[in-house]
Amino acid sequence: MNQYNYMTFKSVSYAMKVETALKKCGVNFKIIPVPRSISSSCGLCVRFQKEDMEKFKEIIEKNSLVYDNIYLDI
């Protein structure tokens, strides 16, 4: 069974900027509605596999992107 992490955002525009950067890098992710167990004002999050955490952080930092929080193993 896959374990996922979820990256949340304060606005949809931040989510879209991250989506664009991730597509360019060719990593596996999915934009989904924020699960009910997670609180977020934006409503969208990026779901990615647990083992890709370092790769995602690297992409975010390299592109100076903004996210709200990362929820682990939900």
Closest among 70, 50, 55, 66 to 22, alpha carbons compared: 55
Range list of β-strands (E), the chain: 4-8, 30-33, 44-49, 69-71
Q: Where are the domains of the chain?
A: 4-71
Task: Report pLDDT digits (tens) over 23-63.
Answer: 999 889 999 999 888 875 678 999 999 999 999 999 999 99
pLDDT of residue 66: 94
pLDDT of residue 51: 92
- CB neighbour list of residue 70: distance below 8 Å, 6 or more residues apart: 5, 6, 7, 8, 53
pLDDT of residue 38: 85
Q: What class has domain 4-71?
A: alpha beta
pLDDT of residue 41: 65
* Banded model confidence at residue 2, pLDDT cuts 50, 70, 90: confident
pLDDT of residue 37: 84
The C-alpha atoms of residue 51 and residue 73 are separated, in whole angstroms, by 11
